[in-house]
Amino acid sequence: MNDRASSLRSLEALLFISDEPVTSAVLAQALEAERPQVDEWCEELARGYEEREAGLTLRNVAGGWRLTTHPEAAPVLEQFVLASRHVRLTKAALETLSIVAYKQPVTRHQISGIRGVNSEGVLRALVDRGLVAEVGREETPGRPVLYGTTPEFLERLGLPSLSALPALAPLLRAGAGDAEAETAGTD
């Protein structure tokens, strides 16, 4: 592979991982190239995407270069994203969502303490799905973020408000009874 092809590949990879527009100066520094050369490469990549009618575009926006999806792909992407938000929740996600629903407002640290495992990834997934959101900050050192459920959570569960959540005490007693029954059956 020649230097130009290698540079274009590296440039494209940098643009792919960036979540905001990247200035030519930053790209030039990363690629150890001159700014005019980087701008030329970006324009070449942009033309290439357009010529092959790719699902991606490269645009110079807000003072930097940004890789984006093609506007004509928007309806398909929107349908895909909305459909993926309704995928079944994992056991870890259900546990975390239950803790947030019953203990809110609650910090990530409190959730992890109750579950006994780091819950950061699961919590992030619930935020991404719109079921949990940041609702404030705790007035303690470090001011950790407080999480609570969203209107989407109520809508998905068919609840008019949080007060319609089932009482927790009977559920805990039922769980304890199941454990006692299992223990009794082993004698």
Are 104 and 48 members of one domain? no
The parent domain of residue 66 ranges over 3-72
Residue pair 39/24 in contact (Cβ under 8 Å)? The answer is yes
Last residue of a domain, one of 40, 72, 104: 72
Helix axes 3-17, 24-31, angle to 10 degrees: 130
CA angle 82, 14, 127 (to 5 degrees): 30
**Does residue 31 sit within a domain?**
yes
- Candidates 163, 174, 153, 39; CA nearest to 96 is 153
pLDDT by residue for the chain (187 residues), tens digit each? 678 899 999 999 999 998 889 999 999 999 999 999 999 999 999 999 999 999 999 999 888 999 999 989 988 888 777 665 566 788 999 999 999 999 999 999 999 999 999 999 999 999 998 999 999 999 999 999 999 999 988 888 778 888 888 887 776 666 555 444 444 444 4
Last residue of a domain, one of 14, 37, 72: 72
Residue pair 151/162 in contact (Cβ under 8 Å)? The answer is no
User: What count of other Cβ atoms lies within 10 Å of the Cβ of residue 113?
Assistant: 13
**Does residue 82 sit within a domain?**
no
Q: How many domains does the chain have?
A: 2
- Residue 120, domain CATH: 1.10.10.10
Whether the full predicted model's pTM is greater than 0.85, yes or no, is no
Are 65 and 134 members of one domain? no
Last residue of a domain, one of 13, 38, 72: 72
pLDDT (tens digit per residue) in 137-160: 999 999 999 999 999 888 887 788
